[in-house]
Amino acid sequence: MLPLVKVHLPERAQLMPALEHVLYSGMIGEGEAVYAFERRFAEQFDLPNVLAMSSGTAALHVALLECCVQPGDEVITTSMTAEPTNTTILQVGAVPVFADVDPETGNLDPASVEAAITDRTRAILVVHYAGYPVPLADIRAIADRKGVTLIEDCAHALGARYRNAAIGTVGEAAIFSFQAIKHMTTVDGGMLVLRNASHMRSARKLRWFGLEKGVPRTEVDISRAGYKYNMNNVTATVGLAQLDVIGPAIARHIDNGRFFDAELAGIPGLSVVPIENGSEPSYWLYTLLADDSDAVERCMAGIGVMASKLHRPNHFHSVFAPYRRDLPGLETFYRRLVHLPCGWWVSDDDRERIVTALRKG
Ligand X SMILES: Cc1ncc(COP(=O)(O)O)c(C=O)c1O
Query: Which chain residues interact with ligand X by CB under 6 A?
Result: 55-57, 60, 81-82, 84-85, 127, 153, 155-156, 177, 179, 190
In terms of CB distance, is 56 or 257 closer to ligand X? 56
Smallest gap from residue 184 Cβ to ligand X (A): 11
Of the pair 60, 174, the CB lying nearest ligand X is at 60
**Least gap, CB of 214 to ligand X (angstroms):** 27
* Identity of the residue, 191 or 358, whose beta carbon is nearer to ligand X in the bound complex: 191
CB of 360 to ligand X, least distance (A): 33
Q: What is the 3-state secondary structure (H, E, C) of the chain?
A: CECCCCCCCCCHHHHHHHHHHHHCCCCCCCCHHHHHHHHHHHHHCCCCCEEEECCHHHHHHHHHHHCCCCCCCEEEECCCCCCHHHHHHHHCCCEEEECCECCCCCCECHHHHHHHCCCCEEEEEEECHHHCCCCHHHHHHHHHHHCCEEEEECCCCCCCEECCEECCCCCCEEEEECCCCCCCCCCCCEEEEECCHHHHHHHHHHHECCCCCCCCCCCCCCCCCCCECECCHHHHHHHHHHHHHHHHHHHHHHHHHHHHHHHHCCCCCEEECCCCCCEECCCCCEEEEECCHHHHHHHHHHCCECCECCCCCHHHCHHHHHHCCCCHHHHHHHHHEEEECCCCCCCHHHHHHHHHHHHHC
In the complex with ligand X, which residue's Cβ is closer, 61 or 199?
Answer: 61
Nearer to ligand X, 81 or 121 (CB): 81
Shortest distance, CB of residue 4 to ligand X, whole angstroms? 14
What's the closest the beta carbon of residue 346 comes to ligand X, in angstroms?
A: 20
Give 324's contacts (C-beta < 8 A, 6+ positions apart).
98, 315
Nearest approach in angstroms of CB 215 to ligand X is 29
Minimum CB–partner distance for residue 231 and ligand X (Å):
11
Closest residue by beta carbon to ligand X: 56
| CA–CA distance, 282 with 297 (Å, rounded to integer) | 23
Q: Closer CB to ligand X, residue 42 or residue 180?
A: 180
Q: How far is the CB of 53 from ligand X (least distance, A)?
A: 8
Nearer CB in complex with ligand X: 2/158? 158
Q: Which is nearer to ligand X, 74 or 153 (CB)?
A: 153
